[in-house]
Amino acid sequence: GAVVSQHPSWVICKSGTSVKIECRSLDFQATTMFWYRQFPKQSLMLMATSNEGSKATYEQGVEKDKFLINHASLTLSTLTVTSAHPEDSSFYICSARLAGVMETQYFGPGTRLLVL
Amino acid sequence: GENVEQHPSTLSVQEGDSAVIKCTYSDSASNYFPWYKQELGKRPQLIIDIRSNVGEKKDQRIAVTLNKTAKHFSLHITETQPEDSAVYFCAARPDSNYQLIWGAGTKLIIKP
């Protein structure tokens, strides 16, 4: 149980294009999902907290107009990187909090984004 | 806000020996402390967690201890095996929300 999928697993795009990443909880409902960014050999950096049916809460320094988050259902959250640039290249990972359980986060497999 | 420090950044142990990774936190209200294992290029996976009302928890070769007074918690891996090689992250959950505050990670290397 508690499986989280993420799609796509990797993407290469041209500078200036937008990329959408999907995060799905497959066997449970997730009222809260989190989006992280991870650079090589570094820790997880929380970008935003996504709550179903409401606006995402962004961490300081994360541009909400650049990283659009939508959490339209209890099993799906999407992150859209708008007008991507090479510095946006990174490993993006989502996690989902199991509804009814206080704290456990389960992670998706991550999406590796390369912007040329 | 909460701050989590993790040591060491790299730990190399002989196969079969024990490994200990330590984390300290600053917010005394934090009440949940998970440990995740991340292999290269893969997702972090929860390996063990502990709540603030418990001092120790064990699962086969893995154990976590929590000292609330000193505000530190540790991961203990006994009888280490090559497949234990990975990066390990500790985290703490402040009482105010569901976010996790992460340590910087420890790269564990098991030498054959």
- Closest chain B CA to residue A35: B99
A16 min Cα distance to partner chain B (Å): 26
Nearest by CB to A103, which of B43, B44, B93? B93
Q: Which residue of B has its CA nearest to A100?
A: B98
DSSP state of A86: G
Partner A contacted by B99 (CB < 8 A) = yes
Render each residue's pLDDT in chain A as its tens digit; 116 residues. 689 999 999 999 999 999 999 999 998 888 899 999 999 889 999 999 998 888 899 999 999 999 999 988 889 999 999 999 999 999 999 999 876 555 688 999 999 999 99
Residue A97 near chain B (CB below 8 Å): yes
The proportion of chain A whose per-residue pLDDT surpasses 70, expressed as a percent, equals 95
Task: Report chain A's C-alpha Rg in angstroms.
Answer: 13
- Cβ atoms of residues A101 and A1 within 8 Å: no
CB contact, 8 Å: B57 with chain A? no
Residue A9: how many other CB atoms lie within 10 Å: 12
How many Cα atoms are found within 13 Å in the side-chain-facing hemisphere of A20? 7
Report residue A53 as tokens: 């049916």
B97 at interface of A, judged by CB pairs closer than 8 A = yes
Amino acid sitting at position B82: P
Q: pLDDT, tens digit, for every residue of A23-50?
A: 999 988 888 999 999 998 899 999 999 9
